[in-house]
Structure 1
Amino acid sequence: MDALYTAVATANGREGRTVSSDGRLDLQLAFPQALGGNGEGTNPEQLFAAGYAACFASALGAVGRAAKVDTKDASVTAEVGIGKDGDDGFGLTVTLRVELPDSLQTEAGRALVEQAHAYCPYSKATRGNIPVALVIE
């Protein structure tokens, strides 16, 4: 694959900062309180959730346009969980909550969400690596 765009960011740990190469992203990082931190900064799970939600919403728009279906009133909320895995380390889980307008609360709407999941680069990257649940609301 030839990359059309490459994002670059540098971090110095979960309790430090992360900065993008263009300076547009410059965030203080901190462990969440649930993991023993002070919670006074963002964390990688929040950043991943924000990116995945945005990417999935964009994918839903793309498949909607291809099907000539208006998805502009849809929204996506990503929940990224972190916990101990069976290998003495940590693993992630994702739940994507897709809020569809009433007009898409049908099997056709469900099919669009499934198509977006097949199309979205984040979904492709996570497929087979972490569990991703799709919930239509």
Structure 2
Amino acid sequence: MPIQSKDVLYTAVATAEGGRDGRVATDDGKLDVVVNPPKEMGGNGAGTNPEQLFAAGYSACFQGALGVVARNEGADISGSTVTAEVGIGKNDEGFGILVNITAKIPNVDAATAKDLVEKAHQVCPYSKATRGNIEVNVAAA
């Protein structure tokens, strides 16, 4: 269910110039990076790229959702990490992305880790935003 404008607690603002071969910066100056296509896509790979930025945001958001779920379940996720791999490739509509998320949760058994990851995928705002739009695979390692 989408949130209403009146319920927004924070809005991030970023402006790009030059698309995939330029720069992107936030209005508060906390992020200001050069973006370039990766070498695998014919670029020079000197800067970051939208897929890396998306992977960084998704992994951080998912880790936060994992923390919420763990608190509700009374699980210890200290020392856990979440890795997001964002792939880009051609599809029938031009280009598309897919995401693989892997959470490592050292202080719980495999079944608990799997359950926590699946529940985090249901509450993570990035997961909700992408659900039904792109392929997202989640796993506990």
**TM-score, with structure 1 as normaliser:** 0.95
Deviations 1:7-47 (A, max 9, x none): 00000111111010100000001000000000000000000
Q: Does 1:39 align with 2:38?
A: no
In structure 2, distance between residues paired with 1:105 and 1:72: 13
Q: Where does structure 2 lack aligned partners over 5 or more consecutive residues? A: none
Q: Does 1:121 align with 2:125?
A: yes
How far did 1:86 drift? Answer: 1.5
Give the 5 Å matches for 1:19-38.
Answer: 19-38=25-44
In structure 2, distance between residues paired with 1:107 and 1:136: 9
In structure 2, distance between residues paired with 1:73 and 1:59: 15
Q: Does 1:80 align with 2:86?
A: yes
In structure 2, distance between residues paired with 1:112 and 1:75: 13
Q: Where does structure 1 lack aligned partners over 5 or more consecutive residues? A: none
Aligned equivalent of 1:106, options 95, 98, 110: 110
In structure 2, distance between residues paired with 1:113 and 1:42: 28
How far did 1:70 drift? Answer: 1.1
Runs (4+) of structure 1 exceeding 4 A deviation are none
- Amino acid in the other structure paired with 2:86: V
Aligned CA-pair RMSD: 0.9
Identity of aligned residues (%): 55
Residue matched to 2:14 = 9
SS at match of 2:11: coil
- Amino acid in the other structure paired with 1:46: Q
**TM-score, with structure 2 as normaliser:** 0.93
In structure 2, distance between residues paired with 1:107 and 1:38: 43
